[in-house]
Structure 1
């Protein structure tokens, strides 16, 4: 029953967003507080969000207040079409996501109560309807929630508040290893992803180290896609057609390469800066400039830096940034 109420809460909040545009100034909304019951699903800037709400199984009555909060209000951090496009998603391509994952992703953008910008402070936290907390981060003059920049605040609706953001937020509710396995098992995308990474972690004996346990540290992980591993195989004169092909390399070499992708401490993109970071493998990684919410990353053995394909994935024991190239140490 609780899940049904949460989904209903998500629906109402999400469709409240669609009448507003992230491109307008916040001041233009100051005198407007439309009822969600009369919200028109008509704003092109949020058409992907609308489609996601429908596909995620949260379409329904739009007139109710929040039954889970005394104020009857919701707060929604609403990604624009451009935010979805960063992940290669639009109305037509949402089908690449499994529906339960899409629904959970929507819930991660919603919280109970009316959180106004005056009550948002850097370093503060906000619980989501999904459960995991989101963190507010100040970077220069800009405020972020996790790695997503807040573009507009305090968009009024009769049953809550909407803040507009530039990136879709993702939380898995699982640790780093189980999150990778969820991708490998096609529980996130319809097609498996990170299959080579999971195979490599198991082969190198690193699964236990990256599994959450009481007192264990939190990590930031750069996670290469399957195509990144296939490209590495080609560069080495090997053929990596399937994950088990990674075992053509010695286990200690695979382990050394993997440790080059992990450093201690959890960092969203909004908390990373150009320069070097020290991974567990020892050889420094070089981060590029913070540009449009992401950074490139390069190992000492790489001629070309890796790009972040899916940044800022929150797990229970760290942050994962999915990248398009394997980061190589000095071997």
Structure 2
């Protein structure tokens, strides 16, 4: 690219030198670079420039761009060449700024060059031309006046060995370069330089690909200082516990794009951790959870980053047990009880809100019934229902609650006695074997015999 640019500048300088030689008088009757003796101009750009002496500004620009030693070019090119007076007319300080910024200088110079040889007759048929800068420049024709961008062509069709030059009276200013597309969330965070710990944690949790994915995501990103402020050992413990680390990191990510304005308008966000984090405005500052938002709206290709000053810690996950039916099924030794509850249509009730206390006979307890007793119950749903409800109390009673009683009123509407003998607890004629098995809607105590009302 640098070699090509040098070539384009070569053409530009060559053109200006030739223009100086033939005299930019506006008369295009003698603009061919071929001398009257029929020979062709063979001088190099550097030789023409040195001999002419009126293109000091252009030569300074070439030198600043590091192109002094490469003033030869292939072609053809069309150069819209500003005069020294055109450079002098730039606002104060503009030229010095360009000479101090080779990238900007290159952008300006290549905006004056078009690939291909376009004589005036071709230029005036266009409405715009694509320059080597990458941007297009407008062409306007009004009578005999031709303008390129905002510059007037003062001399046209000056032939050079490797192209054609049209002299203009103003330096063309290219449009601002479009902002480059930002990187993904991890890329932008890495470039920022103050999220080293966060990115290491993301990598350890195997979340880098997720956060580099399509999104969009909103990340509330703790700085390295925020991680350093965690209690001693916390970060090491998280890095050693991948599930916990993942949960903490996801607690900083919202699925969707939430700008600073969106954040301020919200009262909370449901993070990818599954938990809500509150948003508050205190003393004109915006807080999310226990963290203050320091910097907002850092754009990425797949979302937004807001910088925060503390690590957000999700609430501990609780292993909520299932309902009474689910817990009994998981235990594996209440198959007959569950089949009976289903036959009596009580399984839905025992899965409901509750709370209930179930004195649950094991499969062995049902097997110990007299021969034919279970089949008879299963064939008599009212009697079966009554037996089952005789094992249930419409309240949650722990083992301590049970032993404090002498009898309980069951859901069958009948009392059942509680006794203690040799340190063992009995309900009716059944011994309580295991106590306090928690369920989401009650509690189970395991007994060794079926209670018969």
The answer to which structure has the higher helix fraction is 2
Normalised TM-score (structure 1): 0.45
Task: Select the structure of larger CA radius of gyration.
Answer: 2
Normalised TM-score (structure 2): 0.34
